Amino acid sequence: MSSLVGFLSLVFAIGINFYLFFSRYIFKFQKQKFNLFIRFSSLLTLLSFFSLMYAYVVSDFSNYNVFQNSHSNKPLIYKISGTWGNHEGSMLLWLSILSVFSFFFSFTKNIDESFKRLTLIIQSLLHILFGLFIVFTSNPFLVNSILVNEGLGLNPILQDPGLAVHPPILYGGYVGYSIVFSIAIAGLFQNSDDEWLYVAKKWSLISWTLLTGGIALGSYWAYYELGWGGWWFWDPVENISLMPWIAGLALVHSLMMVRGEQAIKKWIVFLSILCFSLSVFGTFLVRSGILTSVHSFAADASRGIFILLIFFIVTGFGFLVFLIKEPKKSNALNLLFINKVSALVINNILMIIATLTILLGTIYPIIIEVLYNKRISVGGPYFNATVIPIMIPGFLLMSIAPILSWQTNKMQNSKKYVLGFIILSILVLIQSYFLDFNTWGLVGLLLGFWIILASIIAIFSSYKVKFNIKFFQIINPHIAHIGVGIAIVGITCSSVFQNELDFNLNEGDKFDVNGKTVLFQEIETTNQINYQALRGKFLFDIEKNQSKKIEAGKNYYPVSKIITSEAGILHQWNKDIYFILGDQKNNEWFVKVLINPFVSFIWLGVIIMMYSGIIAVTRR
């Protein structure tokens, strides 16, 4: 029953969007009515999504999608997250988020009504394209042809609280760019005043903040669930999310800097189209199953071709409009040797080069396989060797960019910065001389700390410190950059200074980790509601009274016959101690211990960046 409601409301919502799309030419609307129709179609799409969720919650196995991906023994939260833990459901989530964005956009007040309507019509077109995709190739409301009373289960690796919320937030970022895309296209068509830039800024900040959160959640999940001890693997799917993130970063900065310059306005339109195109391209790569990774669901060529078509239409349409309708002439670019505008331009160029480098590495295997019928894989070594060096000058520039002047080459308080940089360099050099020296470690630490230091100097020397909202809004760019600096320190330490220890142990053995004694207490197997758990129990630092318990092991999911690894992590502010339980051989257990210094800094940096994103939304 709920499946029928879901399907009908989905089809009805698509129908309304068809109606709206053609309304411009055939039917004439009053403005009130138009907005009402948009909201109504959004609510219908949401109704469709929640009907599917309801089918999951009550374990309605007469729905084929629920039967394939759920199981009545699953805890409620994973029944709910199971709604988007599969291809069909996740596409419906995509469409629902698109609807949510249209819904809220229809309430925007301070813009021209016909401009708003045009933006929403482009949203309607997107709704139609993706809606038809769902109905024709990925219908989650198919009826199960056999009568069953149990489902086949959800991919156990996805049964995790972090991952339950990761897709909706990530999609919030991806799909949020659709509004920015529509605004930019509408701006091109109408060639109106610059009002649309302010509207676009708000929405692109929201999308970028959500995307940041989504990527960080996915990365954190990979860190403790995959059991490899790392948090970023340059997996194709990670790259796909990183590309719109970097392009979005360039977009957000350009939007904040623009002062009516013709060139930057054009550039903003380009970036808006690019961000959403990359999002759709990412959806294509993941959903077509063209790339294998933890995210791949069953591959199906017809789906791939359909999304490829959507990608082609959306991107082609965007760039074609961009080609034909250039923004109107206005102020010229005020480029000096080093002022705000030139810093912005240089950073934008670097970010685009980084994006293209990642794009090349991601699609290179596809091109090679088509041309030479060989399977190659492009991984960490390529990306580390190309993307990181491209980003480094950008990071350097970023540390001083917010305090550069608009009109002149002069920099306020430049002596303080030079002095700060010299002292910091000496400190970092001494540190790396006495601890293990590593070139990348040195560069990363210097860069990270320098960004933090320069931002702090800027806050205290350029503004009067007050504790009210306005002050936090003014210093917000610096705060964001401090977040980046902290994240760079965390990234550098955890990747360059990671330490790995291997042990073969019996129960009751004591061993030494980082100068602390650890006791391998016992192996315990328990039966949980939907899996069997094997846990090695460790007691960290047994000489102290408050020794810490760590559990590392594996879960076995009998329904889908999959084993997942569950790392045991002891979080400390300056390092994570990461336990992985391996296999048993000759009555001895293989235990791997990784010491990851300053991992927490990465998450802290990300949280600060997201905070800044939110603060920036509130500022006009």
Partner 1 sequence: MRRIFILTPLLVLLIICIFSLVYLLSGKDPNKPPSALLNKDVPIFESTSLYNSKEIIKTIDIKNKKTLINFFASWCSPCKIEHPLFFEIRKKHPELYLLGFNHKDPTTDAKKYLEDDGNPYDFVGVDADGLIALEFGVFGLPETYLINEDGKIIFKFMGPITKDVLKNEIEPLL
- Say how far apart CA 518 and CA 510 lie, in whole Å: 6
* Nearer Cβ to partner 1 (366/614): 366
What is the CA angle 534-536-541, rounded to 5?
160
What six digits make up the tokens of 336? 């000096």
Residue ranges binding partner 1 (CB under 8 A): 270, 273-274, 277, 281, 284, 288-292, 296, 299, 301, 304-305, 308, 311-312, 315-316, 319-320, 322-323, 363, 366-367, 369-370, 373-375
Residues in a beta bridge with 491:
none
- Given CA atoms 447, 452, 453, 455 in this order, what sign does their dihedral have? positive
* Nearer Cβ to partner 1 (312/437): 312
In the complex, the smallest distance separating the C-beta of residue 359 from partner 1, rounded to whole angstroms, is 8
In the complex, the smallest distance separating the C-beta of residue 282 from partner 1, rounded to whole angstroms, is 12
Instruction: Decide if 210 contacts 199 (C-beta within 8 A).
Output: no
- Say how far apart CA 361 and CA 373 lie, in whole Å: 17
* Nearer Cβ to partner 1 (123/288): 288
* Nearer Cβ to partner 1 (289/485): 289
The residue among 553, 563, 527 whose CA lies nearest residue 155 is 563
* Nearer Cβ to partner 1 (71/287): 287
* Nearer Cβ to partner 1 (285/602): 285
Please give the DSSP secondary-structure letter assigned to residue 528: -
In the complex, the smallest distance separating the C-beta of residue 562 from partner 1, rounded to whole angstroms, is 12
**Parallel, antiparallel or unpaired: strands 510-513 and 548-557:** unpaired
Tracing tokens 């860069």 back to the chain, one arrives at 447
In the complex, the smallest distance separating the C-beta of residue 518 from partner 1, rounded to whole angstroms, is 30
In the complex, the smallest distance separating the C-beta of residue 22 from partner 1, rounded to whole angstroms, is 27
In the complex, the smallest distance separating the C-beta of residue 207 from partner 1, rounded to whole angstroms, is 20
* Nearer Cβ to partner 1 (115/284): 284
* Nearer Cβ to partner 1 (202/554): 554
- Say how far apart CA 443 and CA 289 lie, in whole Å: 38
CA distances from 81 to 2, 160, 236, 366 (A): 17, 9, 23, 31
In the complex, the smallest distance separating the C-beta of residue 273 from partner 1, rounded to whole angstroms, is 8
* Upper half-sphere CA count for residue 216 (Cβ side, 13 Å): 20
DSSP conformation letters of 11-50: HHHHHHHHHHHHHTTS----HHHHHHHHHHHHHHHHHHHH
* Nearer Cβ to partner 1 (204/362): 362
* Nearer Cβ to partner 1 (41/348): 348
Helix axes 380-400, 340-372, angle to 10 degrees: 170
First to last CA, the chain: 47
DSSP conformation letters of 39-84: HHHHHHHHHHHHHHHHHHHTT-TTBHHHHHH--TTS-HHHHHHHTT
In the complex, the smallest distance separating the C-beta of residue 218 from partner 1, rounded to whole angstroms, is 20
Instruction: Decide if 389 contacts 398 (C-beta within 8 A).
Output: no
Greatest Cα pair distance in the chain: 81
Please give the DSSP secondary-structure letter assigned to residue 397: H
In the complex, the smallest distance separating the C-beta of residue 243 from partner 1, rounded to whole angstroms, is 12
- Say how far apart CA 524 and CA 534 lie, in whole Å: 6
Dihedrals φ, ψ of 532, to 5°? -105, 135
Instruction: Decide if 335 contacts 341 (C-beta within 8 A).
Output: yes
Dihedrals φ, ψ of 473, to 5°? -70, -40
The residue among 224, 51, 206 whose CA lies nearest residue 140 is 51
- Say how far apart CA 334 and CA 409 lie, in whole Å: 11
In the complex, the smallest distance separating the C-beta of residue 587 from partner 1, rounded to whole angstroms, is 15
In the complex, the smallest distance separating the C-beta of residue 301 from partner 1, rounded to whole angstroms, is 5
DSSP conformation letters of 338-358: SSHHHHHHHHHHHHHHHHHHH
* Nearer Cβ to partner 1 (289/553): 289
* Nearer Cβ to partner 1 (147/370): 370
* Nearer Cβ to partner 1 (271/442): 271
In the complex, the smallest distance separating the C-beta of residue 290 from partner 1, rounded to whole angstroms, is 6
In the complex, the smallest distance separating the C-beta of residue 354 from partner 1, rounded to whole angstroms, is 16
* Nearer Cβ to partner 1 (312/463): 312
Contacts of 359 (CB under 8 A, 6+ apart): 243, 278
In the complex, the smallest distance separating the C-beta of residue 98 from partner 1, rounded to whole angstroms, is 21
